Structure 1
């Protein structure tokens, strides 16, 4: 089995060679290198500042916000990856040992898979809350969110660690000099395609599900607005000590359901739900702006048969563009979640 794999890899390597770039314009190389370092610093700050807020304020560590914390941790991975990526690609020199090339090559897919599937968890959370509100209120908790995040991390680590281990073995058998970027695409062509397919599934599912979720969310908002209006009309006919929920029951009689009563009696719950759905909306906006070009580029690669290593500049530009999403989303979370926004403001004032 191992012998057949070695023969297959050797055959694959005899038919393909790494792209050897022509001398890079020093100004262009320095510009790309600088962009990567700026993005790395931006990613580190966009993760460190909100994470500090989550550490300092226990009230921020809600079940839903565990998804945001997991997302911020992936930014730290990208912040570690980008400086090495910049040097490896643009200056054609691998800084570390050949064995660590496997770790570096696996770090970006790991962060990418985690990012996409954490965003999918946010989408699933809103689907659960909108379509199964009673079940959501009784079963959603910090524990359920933490378990779902841990499952995603463990699955992603399992897949990527296996990929990295196989790549490490092949790099020992077939060592290469020069840049590390693109080696996995040759040594493990099919597994690499499958790995990056995992990155594409989550954004596509989110974009497909969002219109249905938006329609349901707007319908529930209209329902709540109608209940509030009926509640205002009914308050003149009920005891001043009656609750808002009882007013709706008196107004609607036996037709008032537990769900509509709960919606009228708990405006704070509706406000929190609006904040969470706004987070999902911004996730969809970022996917549309920053991930769609990556998906289109992947389709073009598949159709034309273009290899990653055959167009280093375009591949690097796509990576830089995609990571603008990672730089933007944490600050969107800060602006969207009221308590997080207040905490970050206080942190800036203290500094």
Structure 2
């Protein structure tokens, strides 16, 4: 995810005009390079440790866990395919690994990053279903459905992104003659704008929209329950004024018992916590870089000083994702303590 910060150059998803930035061919270490290596190492540790929990604990493999595993698989592809090549690309300041590795680098840059964004959107939509229609979610959601949705998204992304990458490899490889591995977005303007909108911007917008919808829905439901409670209390008081206190019913037929209310509230709170934490991470880590890409691809310019910190934040989400779900899911948290801390 490295590129030139010059406002006069169009933004791409890879390092642009690197031969103009550095005149040397040897290693060129920078603070960003050291930070990227630290993030890569930490992210591999966190993602692999959580995936191992799902492997060793079959009880954790619920239908919702399919979406989490799908996200971690996308993270691992990014960590093993993209980030090492990206670090080497930055260190040597020019592309020297040939066309085949360049093709792999561009595939990981465009397809795997889109898979990460869409994996978060799938989790958000799943939480929307679980919170707003819990009865339907419990009876209709299954592992087969979850796997089908995840596979469909991967196929959809390949159908959208591979044509442009293939055309770029076939017709626009002259960039390799100047030691730059990149997609010529300016020469595929229509394709670049469309895939940026539907494969990257739309999933991020879905996460924000789902969170806003759930917040509004929970507020309306809370208000409706309050009105219902006040109405029932009023009816009980009216009944009490016409009969003895001993004849007043302790529970209204329309009211749920304390155990059922607590259970329903806990389920909603559980899903809402995951959605809140994930939305905050997407807002903090994805949005700055998506803004940089959108402005660069649509207007062929760059926002000065935005890309470097935005790229670091984007990399950090691969570290944060496993920590987020371990903290938010009690079963996963217990399995982590039992497996790695040897605590019951």
Give TM class, smaller chain. 0.7 to 0.9
**Distance in 1, Cα, partners of 2:160 & 2:58:** 33
State yes or no: 1:204 paired with 2:201. no
Q: Secondary structure at the match of 2:185?
A: helix
How has the CA–CA distance of structure 1 residues 93 and 174 changed in structure 2, closer, same or farther, with 3 Å as cutoff?
closer
Q: Secondary structure at the match of 1:252?
A: coil
**Distance in 1, Cα, partners of 2:337 & 2:29:** 37
**Distance in 2, Cα, partners of 1:52 & 1:334:** 13
How has the CA–CA distance of structure 1 residues 292 and 215 changed in structure 2, closer, same or farther, with 3 Å as cutoff?
same
Q: Secondary structure at the match of 1:217?
A: helix
State yes or no: 1:323 paired with 2:329. no
Farther-moved stretch of structure 1 (134-143 vs 182-191)? 182-191
Task: Summarize the alignment of residues 4-83 of structure 1 with structure 2, pairs less than 5 Å apart.
Answer: 18=17, 20-23=19-22, 29-80=29-80, 81-83=82-84
Task: Summarize the alignment of residues 1-351 of structure 1 with structure 2, pairs less than 5 Å apart.
Answer: 18=17, 20-23=19-22, 29-80=29-80, 81-170=82-171, 175-180=176-181, 182-186=182-186, 188-197=188-197, 198-220=199-221, 251-253=251-253, 256=254, 261=256, 265=260, 267-268=262-263, 270-301=265-296, 305-306=300-301, 315-349=307-341
Select the structure with the greater relative contact order (CA < 8 A; seq sep ≥ 6): 2
**Distance in 1, Cα, partners of 2:154 & 2:256:** 38
Q: What is the CA deviation profile of residues 205-256 of structure 1, one whole-angstrom value per residue up to 9, with x for unaligned ones?
A: 22133222112234546777999999xxx9xxxxxxxxxxxxxx98333xx3
Contact 1:47 1:75 in 2 (8 A): yes
TM, length-normalised to structure 1: 0.75
Q: Cα RMSD (Å) of the superposition?
A: 3.6
TM, length-normalised to structure 2: 0.76
**Distance in 1, Cα, partners of 2:335 & 2:294:** 42
Higher helix share: 1
Contact 2:18 2:94 in 1 (8 A): no
**Distance in 2, Cα, partners of 1:171 & 1:304:** 21
**Distance in 2, Cα, partners of 1:337 & 1:92:** 42
1:140, distance to aligned residue in structure 2 (A): 1.4
Gaps of 5+ in 1: 1-16, 235-248
Contact 1:92 1:178 in 2 (8 A): no
2:243 maps to none
1:189, distance to aligned residue in structure 2 (A): 4.2
Q: Secondary structure at the match of 1:21?
A: helix
Q: Secondary structure at the match of 1:129?
A: helix
How has the CA–CA distance of structure 1 residues 154 and 219 changed in structure 2, closer, same or farther, with 3 Å as cutoff?
same
Q: What is the CA deviation profile of residues 134-161 of structure 1, one whole-angstrom value per residue up to 9, with x for unaligned ones?
A: 3223211222222211211221233333
1:95, distance to aligned residue in structure 2 (A): 4.4
Contact 1:18 1:183 in 2 (8 A): no
Q: What is the CA deviation profile of residues 85-117 of structure 1, one whole-angstrom value per residue up to 9, with x for unaligned ones?
A: 122134223343213312211212222221222
